């Protein structure tokens, strides 16, 4: 028997990033990582920048780096609204590594730095690096 799936849609301001059927997904919630299976009740989550893992109908996993945003479960389908979404192959690892180093440095100095902003930048950089790594392995 084919496994149950639901539709996942990822929207950014620039484009419809993705629309496909998935078996389940694991998303980086602001209050912790959570999983969504088919038949989930209506829910709105706030996301933080991090890796999003998707189990595709063929049983393979895909990873996507999302830059925070919101995840909505509605009528059994899931939409993610995010400022940025990237497939592993789209990620510039060197740039992400540089961004991580810069954010770490800022957080260490702590003087006159917008701490929240630096933290967000750090999270985004780490999410990208993680996704680039997973994606490369074809986990």
State the residues that interact with another protein by CB under 8 A.
11-16, 29-31, 34, 41-46, 69-70, 72, 79, 81, 83-84
Interior angle at CA 3, CA 77 and CA 73, nearest 5: 15
Output the six-digit token pair for 67.
């830059």
Cβ nearer to another protein, comparing 84 with 119 = 84
| Residues in Cβ contact with 23 at an 8 Å cutoff, skipping those fewer than 6 apart | 3, 4, 5, 38, 55, 56, 57, 59
Q: Across the strands, what pairs with 61?
A: 55
Cβ nearer to another protein, comparing 14 with 108 = 14
Q: Minimum Å distance from CB 42 to another protein?
A: 4
Q: Minimum Å distance from CB 95 to another protein?
A: 14
Q: Minimum Å distance from CB 14 to another protein?
A: 6
Cβ neighbours of 99 (radius 10 Å) = 18
Residues 47 and 32: beta-carbon distance below 8 Å:
no
Cβ nearer to another protein, comparing 7 with 30 = 30
Cβ nearer to another protein, comparing 59 with 112 = 112
Q: Minimum Å distance from CB 72 to another protein?
A: 6
């Amino acid at each position: 028997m084919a496994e149950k799936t639901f539709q996942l849609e990822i929207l950014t301001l620039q484009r419809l990033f993705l629309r496909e059927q998935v078996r389940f997904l694991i998303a980086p919630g602001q209050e912790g990582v959570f999983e969504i299976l088919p038949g989930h009740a209506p829910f709105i989550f706030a996301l933080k920048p991090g890796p999003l893992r998707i189990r595709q109908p063929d049983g393979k996993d895909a990873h996507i780096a999302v830059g925070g945003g919101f995840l909505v479960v509605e009528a059994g389908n899931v939409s993610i609204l995010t400022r940025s979404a990237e497939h592993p192959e789209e990620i510039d690892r060197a740039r992400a590594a540089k961004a991580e180093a810069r954010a770490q440095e800022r957080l260490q100095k702590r003087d006159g730095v917008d701490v929240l902003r630096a933290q967000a930048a750090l999270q985004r950089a780490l999410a990208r690096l993680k996704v680039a790594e997973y994606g490369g392995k074809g986990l």
